[in-house]
Amino acid sequence: MTKGNALIGQSGGPTSVINSSLAGVIETAIKSSFIKDVFGMHFGIEGFMQEWLYDLGNQPRKIIEGLRYTPSSALGSSRHKVQEKDLPLILEVLKKFNIRYFFLIGGNDTMDTIHKVEEYCRIKNYELTGIGIPKTVDNDLFGTDHTPGFPSAARSNILNVMQGGILARDMQKVDKFVIYQTIGRDAGWLAAATALARNKEEDAPHLIYAPEFQFSRDKFLKDVDMCIKKNGWVSVVCGEGLKYADGTPVSSATTKDKFNNTEFGAMGGASVGLSLHRMIADEFGYRGEFQITESLIMSDFVRSSAVDLDEAFQCGVEAVKLAESGETGFMVCIRRTSNHPYSIEFGKVPLKEVAVSAKPMPLNFFNAEGNHVSPLFIDYMTPLAGELPEFISLEKIYAKHN
């Protein structure tokens, strides 16, 4: 093993636990006999190319410890798509700082970045160990049971829908429906997770629509009408990436990011939640509410999952262990070994299998109608979300006059 310095970066959207992964890497790397100094990219690969590096090994101990309980991305993030023209400069800076161990924490686009850099260095005969650490609230990385960041964002969604559902239930004589929109560009994991808010049949959410299914306006309005007739109101959860059969986004969003992903949160007016709201209001004349949290759930540390915090830290530890064993070109992955009791083990998956592509939810995690989840998904999600509050409702014991 070549001795040298380590580099750590964070890319893409923040999460409640990405800094816990960062702490895991730092704490393990500074103890390594192969790693001398530990540097951090300030603002991701963009900052690295400008030589903006934190000296993480010289940070006060209380700061490294505090990272485990601090949301968002402490190093500063980036969504820069690495081009072929960037690679010579990246290699030049790697050599300048004698970086031999390269760790990136992020989603599939991030894994694409580290894969390109690690592969380019190999071609140029520069010895570099590249390891990816999974992170994305969307939970759409291939090769891992779930991704750090998802359980906490899911828990935030669950609590939002649970509390918003009680509000909507009690206000049903004013507002007949409530729409809750969650992030989730290509996969419905975050929308589906809100099913755990529902303890009784009449509880929110009544309907869940995910990007895995083609959206039909007629079927949606039929589902809504049925729920209102049954319950007196309806709670609808939708993923931001809903599309019609022809591929058109329900939100009418057209802006693209650097990785050619549709920016559903961009340009202000493009919103699937508002689109669904208008459909119901126009069809039935009902008044209703919409709730759009956008990126707030991504770093909602106050409601983070204890399981998520621990696993995120351990993913950072495992990444350094992989590097120390001579492995390169892999992402750390989580393998679930049991639901009851919940248990996992850590493994590895080749970066090229994870890069760019998104993992949809298995269809057997949905009900036959495609508007809610199946018991299989509830089993999958329950241990990740952690203990949830129990709210009460009054029994329908009405007063009688004499």
- SS3 annotation, 173-239: CCCCEEEEEECCCCCCHHHHHHHHHCCCCCCCCCEEECCCCEECHHHHHHHHHHHHHHHCCEEEEEE
| Assigned token pair, 338 | 């049991």
Task: For residue 110, give the amino acid letter.
Answer: T
Contacts of 38 by beta carbon, 8 Å cutoff, 6+ apart: 5, 6, 8, 25, 26, 29, 30, 55, 56, 57
Residues in the chain: 402
CB 157 within 8 A of CB 381: no
Q: Is the dihedral of CA 182, 184, 185, 186 positive or negative?
A: negative
Counting other chains too, the contacts that 254-262 makes at CB distance below 8 Å and 24 or more residues apart are 257/79, 258/79, 258/80, 258/81, 259/79, 259/81, 259/109, 259/112, 259/356, 261/185, 262/185
Give catalytic status of residue 218 as yes or no.
Answer: no
The predicted pLDDT at position 259 comes to 54
The predicted pLDDT at position 269 comes to 45
Among 3.20.10.10, 3.90.1150.10, 3.40.50.460, 3.40.120.10, name the CATH number for the domain at 150-301+360-385: 3.40.50.460
The predicted pLDDT at position 263 comes to 52
Say if domain 4-137+303-354 classifies as CATH 3.30.565.10: no
Nearest to 38 by CA among 350, 352, 323: 323
Which is catalytic among the residues 37, 86, 112, 138? Answer: 138
Domain boundaries, the chain: 4-137+303-354, 150-301+360-385
150-301+360-385 matches 4-137+303-354 in CATH topology: yes
> What residues form DSSP beta bridges with 39?
7, 55
Parts of the chain with a pLDDT under 50: 254, 266-269
Is residue 300 classed as helix, strand or coil in its secondary structure? coil
The predicted pLDDT at position 260 comes to 55
The predicted pLDDT at position 268 comes to 43
Q: What is the DSSP secondary-structure string of 243-272?
A: EETTS-BTT----B-TTS-B-TTTTTT--H
